Amino acid sequence: MKNAFIINAHEAYSFSEGKLNATLVDIAKVNLIQKGYEVRITTMKDNYDIEGELSNHQWADVLILQSPVNWMEVPWSFKRYMDLVYSAGMGGQLCNGDGRSRHDPSSQYGTGGSLTDAKYMLSLTLNAPKSALNDASQSFFEGKSLDDLFWPMHLNFRFFGMQPLPTFACFDVMKNPSIDDDFLRFEAHLNQHFAIPAS
């Protein structure tokens, strides 16, 4: 059996209650349980315990971060989660500092990760249309990809030694949604990248 830890980073607003992100979490949960995974979930509304969250990260073979894109990054409540949980894990639970030491500061920065056997996947929802990205003629993102935009988040998980799975995204979710198609694509994405664990 493999272990999957899902974090729902959504922060509720009057114009965005979080139903889409919650449904994507539910789809992932059902899909992975049917494949034989054990699943744990944390949301930003939970009264989470720092040590418990560190334990969830250490327990997981794969972590799925389900998050809306708020002002080009994760919501503030997940940033707070990172500041609390990830800072507390720098003594070895998530990483051994930055991989260097005062005795040998020449070691490469960012090589102290303790979760080298784990993978992670970003699953993002955003108002921007897919056409706004990966196209140099689009003035705002200037040809950048969604993974370019979320490069700091990729670096956070790389800091722990984790390996990426391909990012999933639901685009244009407020102005021109295609939610049923998004759900089908998400199922297909999970089926492609999450194998049935060996018994």
pLDDT per residue as tens digits for the range 126-168: 999 999 999 999 999 999 999 999 999 999 999 999 999 999 9
User: pTM of the entire structure?
Assistant: 0.93
d(CA 66, CA 153): 12
d(CA 12, CA 30): 23
What's the Cα-to-Cα distance from 185 to each of 28, 167, 170, 191, rounded to whole Å?
Answer: 12, 12, 9, 10
Range name among 14-23, 56-65, 105-114 with the lowest pLDDT average: 105-114
The dihedral through the CA atoms of 76, 78, 79, 80 has a sign that is: positive
3-class state of residue 194 by DSSP: coil
Question: Residue 14: is its pLDDT beyond 70?
Answer: no
Q: What are the DSSP calls for 90-113, one per residue?
A: TBTTSBBTTS--SS-TTSPTT--B
If pLDDT is split at 50, 70 and 90, which confidence band does 196 have?
confident
| AA identity, residue 163 | Q
147 within 8 A of 195, measured Cβ to Cβ: no
Task: Tell me the two tokens of residue 134.
Answer: 């990966």
The dihedral through the CA atoms of 141, 146, 148, 152 has a sign that is: positive
Average pLDDT over residues 31-55: 97
> Of how many residues is the chain composed?
199
Return the pLDDT at 113.
76
Q: What is the mean pLDDT of the chain?
A: 92
Over pLDDT 90: what percentage of the chain?
Answer: 79
Determine whether 11 is exposed, middle or buried from the number of CB atoms within 10 Å of its CB (0-12, 13-18, 19+): buried
Return the pLDDT at 169.
98
Return the pLDDT at 136.
94
